[in-house]
Structure 1
Amino acid sequence: MSNENLSQLMRVAKKYYLLDMKQDEIAASEQISKSTVSRLINKARELGYVTFNLNFPSVTDENLQNELQEIFQLKHIFVAESDKTDERITFSNVSDGLSSYLNEIISDGDIVGVSWGKTMTYMSENLVPAVKKDVKFVLLNGGVSNRNVSTLSDQMLIKFAKNYGATWYFLQVPSFVDNSHIAGIIKQDSKINEIFRLIEETDTVIYSVGFVNKDSVLVKAGYFTEGDYENLRKQGFVGDICSRYIKNNGEHAEGELYDRVIGISLEEIKEKKNSICVAIGKEKAEAILASLKGGYTNTLFTDEITAKEVLNLYRKEGV
């Protein structure tokens, strides 16, 4: 974009957003068409020259929060208002609550672990800045090594870290390898071992839960076949936390399925001061319930529809 075009884009955007001029007024003042004004306004947003911060108070369902907190003895819970017309609004409502909470609990010198996924990517893009001193962010589990599939884990981690003026540390290995022997050798590498030491030192870990389905990124990346997932279902597995599979009763996988994973263990997650699960969608309810039964989650961020489904499943099982 030439300096002349950039100057015009800036003028149009400032007239629209700062001076509250109407688009036809701007068109007349710039001697351009109204459609060109609209295009320049949209371009300013696309290029990141214009951004918005919405600072609405959080709307939560206190009855659902209290019931879930009492049943599962949670340290903290946030149940956001669900929007049935657009999932993005529900995600935004949940991220508002998460961002506010993280800004309260993250202190100078903390080491925070985060996992990857669609939910975590959205959360990383909708945080409220709160610069802290000497904070570190580390990735909790490996990604995928298939060039046709991306978890966006690097970008997600960087966004979390930059929001707090923190440094970041990648775990640049696959989430799954062919067998436990290979996983063990990789973990012995000095650089990888340094990352695992950081993971051990985290007080706060933030993750979502996956659910067992044929559209999983791990199926698309070739780690599992659709048939493998059918077998997992038959064995009672309903989801995963940081690529480690859990059953509907809260028990986790053992043997090769568990030991092939390169990342934080579920035993470690249970010991963390803040083990924060962020999960949205009725399809994740089984996995959320399993994470609560297994004691892997002591802090939950979700929405009304998902929370109600978790409670419905809990009551049906007569736990």
Structure 2
Amino acid sequence: MPGAPFSGGRSRDALRAAQMYYLQDLTMNAIARELNTSRSTVSRLLSMARETGLVQIQVNNPTDRTPALEQQISRRFGVQAHVVPIADSVNDSEVLNRVALQAARTIGPLVDSNAIIGVAWGSTLSAVSHRLTRKQTHDSTFVQLNGAGNTQTTGISYASEILRRFGQAYGSRVEQFPVPAFFDHAETKKAMWRERSVRRILDLQERMTMAIFGVGSIGAGIPSHVYSGGYLDHEDLETLEADEVVGDVATMFFRSDGSHRDILLNQRSTGPDLDELRRVGRRICVVSGESKIHGLRGALAANLATDLILDEGSARRLVQA
């Protein structure tokens, strides 16, 4: 199972088997003889090496279209793009699975010791959290970017599970943000933001070295969780429409041109101020599905991402017009 703990001796055996198989071109039978074990055990060790990140396999296809798409996106939007090659016939669920796997493999090498990393909640980040591979770090912290409660649920268990998986994968501390996604009144948020318990989380967010998030899109064919999960009432949705909102990052909203400062609902949202988010050195945005394209364009116009991981269909639409 990806992310599951292994004993030190077992990890050493997996590393030795991987080195002999991938670097020395030995057969599994030859490795089994050298390690004094069976061929089936060698096969399991090699699988373990791949699942735990000891081995990362890269395929270079000279006819692949994704490098050209990545270059176009990078030039046009100023981000490091990672396009996941996926056929148009693949269903939305499988697209999400493959994007999440690529995101997990991209994020792993970037997570380091002594880091403070913000993580947003949502279906995309939930999928990513299930596919992380273990990497031991020291004195690193994952902090929740925005509250998850609404009138129907506290949202704590959902958001905390995502955070827990990140912390477990990298041996890191986790800091939850047990506040609603949106306060009923902007004055309540201002008062809460002065509380020391809340201020401690906000101070951590201000010192983030990396942020990881998806994009919500209000016009998506499959609505994002924030628009369909009871977080917004009819009046809120009308306000977003009047403000010409196209999407959100961590429940902070923006328009197609990236503007956001005068959007009323942002005054009640517990997500990070987008001007502050832009100050974080590494900002990894993960997007699955072409229905998020309007929200993604708005997020890029707002300069919210330094790194973008997305499926091939979305990448093609992004560079059109």
Q: Give the TM-score, by structure 1 length.
A: 0.75
Which among 279, 293, 297 is matched to residue 285 of structure 1?
A: 293
Alpha-carbon distance in structure 2 between the residues aligned to 1:219 and 1:225: 9
User: Displacement, 1:81?
Assistant: 1.4
In 1, the alpha carbon distance for the partners of 2:131 and 2:91 equals 16
1:253 CA displacement: 4.6
Cα distance per residue 1:48-94 (max 9 Å; x no partner): xxxx94965467711110000001111x2101012433334322332
Query: CA 1:216–1:119 in structure 2 vs 1: closer, same or farther (change >3 Å)?
Result: closer
Give the direction of change, closer, same or farther, for the CA distance of 1:142–1:160 in structure 2 (3 Å limit): same
Equivalent of residue 78 in structure 1, options 67, 77, 82:
82
Relative distance call for 1:183 and 1:228 in structure 2 (3 A) is: closer
2:87 is equivalent to residue 67 of structure 1: no
Displacement of 1:237 after TM fit? 1.0
Name which of structure 1's ranges 76-85 and 194-203 shifts more when overlaid on structure 2: 76-85
Match of 1:127 among 120, 124, 132: 132
Partner of 1:248: 256
Extract unaligned runs of 5+ from structure 1: 1-17, 20-51
Greater Rg over alpha carbons, structure = 1
Task: Tell me which amino acid in the other structure corresponds to 2:251.
Answer: S
CA distance in 2 between partners of 1:123 and 1:216 (Å): 16
In structure 2, relative to structure 1, the CA distance for the partners of 1:286 and 1:213 (3 Å cut) is closer
Partner SS state of residue 233, structure 1: helix
Amino acid in structure 1 at the alignment position of 2:166: F
Q: Which residue of 2 aligns with 1:168?
A: 174
Root-mean-square deviation (Å): 2.5
Q: CA deviation at 1:148?
A: 5.2
Per-residue Cα deviation, 1:158-190 (whole angstroms, up to 9, x for no partner): 001110010100000001001211001111111
The alignment status of 1:204 with 2:205, answered yes or no, reads no
The residue number in structure 2 matching 1:158 is: 164
Change (3 A) 1:58 1:160: farther
2:106 paired residue number: 101
Instruction: Give the partner amino acid of 2:82.
Output: F
Higher RCO structure (Cα 8 Å, ≥6 apart): 2
- The question of whether the paired residues in 1 share the 8 Å contact of 2:216 and 2:226 is answered with no
Select which of 117, 122, 127 maps to 2:122.
Answer: 117
In structure 2, relative to structure 1, the CA distance for the partners of 1:276 and 1:86 (3 Å cut) is: same
For residue 297 of structure 1, give the secondary structure of its aligned residue in structure 2: coil
What does residue 275 of structure 1 align with? 283
1:3 is matched with none
- The separation in 1 between residues aligned to 2:229 and 2:149, in whole angstroms, is 7
How many residues are paired up?
A: 264
Give secondary structure in 2 for the equivalent of 1:271.
coil
Task: Tell me the residue number matched to 2:13.
Answer: none
Structure 1 letter corresponding to 2:146: N
Would you say the 8 A contact 2:115–2:209 is kept in 1?
yes
Tell me whether 1:137 sits opposite 2:142 in the alignment. Answer: yes
TM-score (norm 2): 0.75
The answer to whether residue 245 in structure 2 is matched with residue 237 in structure 1 is yes
Quote the residue 2:20 is aligned against. Answer: none
- Work out whether residues 81 and 90 of structure 1, in 8 Å CA contact, stay in contact via their aligned partners in 2: no
How far is 1:224 from its partner? Answer: 2.4
1:5 equivalent in structure 2:
none
CA contact (8 A) 2:236 2:265 kept: no
Give % identity: 22
Match of 1:299 among 301, 307, 312: 307
